[in-house]
């Protein structure tokens, strides 16, 4: 298959910024407003439940869209980039915990401290899954580049039926879309779209329609008293959420924009994810949103307040990440100037 060179323009970097803000807002809604308790049986309905479900229906697509971007442009594996990503997560995992200990916001516990070094096994769920996707991307890319249209459709159907659809007999792994199989499925789907779906007409409308279908399903289940079903509607392997993610990507793909500022900010957003998802930071944000929810009883005012929280978290996050890059990037560069490291890196 002939490979065309596709360059990420500022439109895609702008999308990456938006996606990170959507992820922050998703966590604000599901944790701070306790919407995620729908899946545990502990949710207490409120006057803003419908509003929460509607908002989450538009936000939940962010992670899938992020993976879709990776598949559309294909990950270019580099040992240095892989190490830098791992090192970035390690720094935040260890130092943020120690910061809370030093400031008296958390007690020091030896076991907890040790686990901060093993964040792949106990920490951000997205990081280990994406690291695996990154690690296997050379193999994925080589296989995909050798496949024709029919073969790509066949592999997508296999993954869809046997790994993504929960109720199919013989289902190998139905992890609600949080695992590597769904990431691989979206990665391959995006690759397929790159070559065989050049245009989606009015993609923004498809995005809105898919999100509204997700809301309708979740709200119907909620009204029927099936809270766990309502929560499962938001699984990442939902076909409506995956289609909404693709539609959101195509919406921004059609935008023509070039901005050095946007491109520079987009390099900071993953650090924002790591910061706001660190366990101690997560609880601080959650407790503050719970407080806001207890004193604000108007949906419009509540949404405005949550939006403000999301903006503050985002701005603080990218600021901290910029400082981390100034300190840590020279360290990574120095490591990869070591001859033995260069030899290992050159193999890939």
pLDDT of residue 174: 58
Contact between 342 and 296 (Cβ < 8 Å): no
Q: What pLDDT is stored for residue 3 in this prediction?
A: 44
* Averaged pLDDT of the chain: 90
Q: In whole angstroms, give the CA distance from residue 199 to residue 203.
A: 9
Cα(87)–Cα(216) distance, rounded to whole angstroms?
A: 42
DSSP 237: T
Give the model's confidence band at 161: pLDDT under 50 very low, under 70 low, under 90 confident, else very high: confident
pLDDT category at 274 given cuts 50, 70, 90 is: very high
Band the pLDDT of 7: cuts 50, 70, 90: very low
pLDDT for position 4: 45
Q: Summarize pLDDT for 78-108 with one digit per residue, the tens.
A: 999 999 999 999 999 999 999 999 999 989 9
User: Residue written as tokens 């990869």?
Assistant: 336
The Cα 52–Cα 36 span in angstroms is 10
The rounded distance, in Å, linking the Cα atoms of 217 and 296 is 27
Q: Band the pLDDT of 123: cuts 50, 70, 90.
A: low
pLDDT given for residue 96 in this prediction: 94
Buried b (16+ CB within 10 A) or exposed e, 225-247: eebebbbbbbbbbbebbbbbbbb
**pLDDT, mean of residues 202-209:** 97
Q: Which residue has the tokens 């360059």?
A: 7
Please say whether the beta carbons of 255 and 11 come within 8 A.
yes
Name the DSSP letter for residue 106. S
Q: Which residue has the tokens 């390099």?
A: 267
Helix axes 269-277, 79-102, angle to 10 degrees: 40
Token pair 């499962």 is at which residue? 232
Note the pLDDT of residue 294. 87
25-77: pLDDT as tens digits: 999 999 988 898 888 877 888 888 998 999 999 999 999 999 999 999 999 99
Taking the C-alpha atoms of residue 163 and residue 182, their distance in angstroms, rounded to an integer, is 8
Question: How distant, in Å, are the alpha carbons of 14, 128, 144, 253 from that of 194?
Answer: 19, 26, 12, 11
Question: Looking at the chain, how many residues does it have?
Answer: 348
* Angle at which helices 279-295 and 299-335 cross, to 10°: 170
The two tokens of residue 51 are: 């509003």
């Amino acid at each position: 298959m002939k490979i065309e060179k596709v360059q990420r323009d500022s439109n895609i970097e702008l999308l990456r910024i938006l996606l990170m803000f959507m992820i922050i807002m998703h966590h604000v809604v599901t944790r701070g407003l306790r919407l995620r308790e729908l899946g545990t049986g502990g949710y207490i309905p409120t006057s803003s439940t419908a509003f929460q479900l509607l908002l989450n229906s538009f936000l939940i697509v962010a992670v899938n869209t992020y993976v879709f971007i990776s598949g559309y442009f294909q990950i270019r594996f580099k040992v240095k980039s892989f190490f830098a990503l791992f090192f970035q997560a390690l720094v935040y995992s260890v130092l943020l915990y120690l910061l809370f200990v030093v400031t008296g916001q958390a007690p020091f516990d030896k076991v907890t401290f040790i686990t901060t070094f093993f964040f792949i096994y106990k920490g951000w769920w997205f990081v280990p899954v994406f690291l695996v996707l990154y690690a296997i991307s050379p193999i994925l890319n080589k296989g995909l580049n050798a496949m024709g249209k029919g073969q790509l459709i066949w592999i997508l159907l296999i993954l869809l039926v046997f790994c993504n659809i929960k109720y199919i007999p013989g289902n190998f792994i139905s992890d609600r879309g949080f695992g590597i199989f769904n990431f691989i499925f979206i990665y391959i789907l995006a690759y397929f779209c790159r070559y065989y779906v050049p245009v989606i007409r009015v993609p923004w409308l498809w995005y809105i329609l898919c999100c509204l279908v997700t809301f309708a399903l979740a709200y119907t289940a909620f009204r029927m008293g099936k809270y766990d079903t309502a929560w499962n509607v938001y699984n990442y392997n939902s076909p409506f959420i995956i289609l909404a993610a693709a539609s959101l990507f195509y919406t921004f793909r059609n935008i023509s924009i070039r901005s050095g500022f946007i491109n520079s900010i987009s390099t900071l957003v993953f650090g924002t994810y790591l910061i706001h998802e660190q366990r101690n930071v997560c609880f601080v944000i959650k407790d503050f949103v719970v407080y806001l929810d207890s004193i604000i009883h108007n949906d419009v005012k509540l949404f405005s307040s949550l939006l403000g929280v999301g903006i503050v978290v985002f701005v603080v996050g990218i600021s901290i990440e910029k400082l981390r890059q100034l300190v840590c990037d020279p360290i990574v560069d120095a490591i990869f100037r070591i001859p033995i490291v260069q030899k290992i890196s050159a193999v890939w």
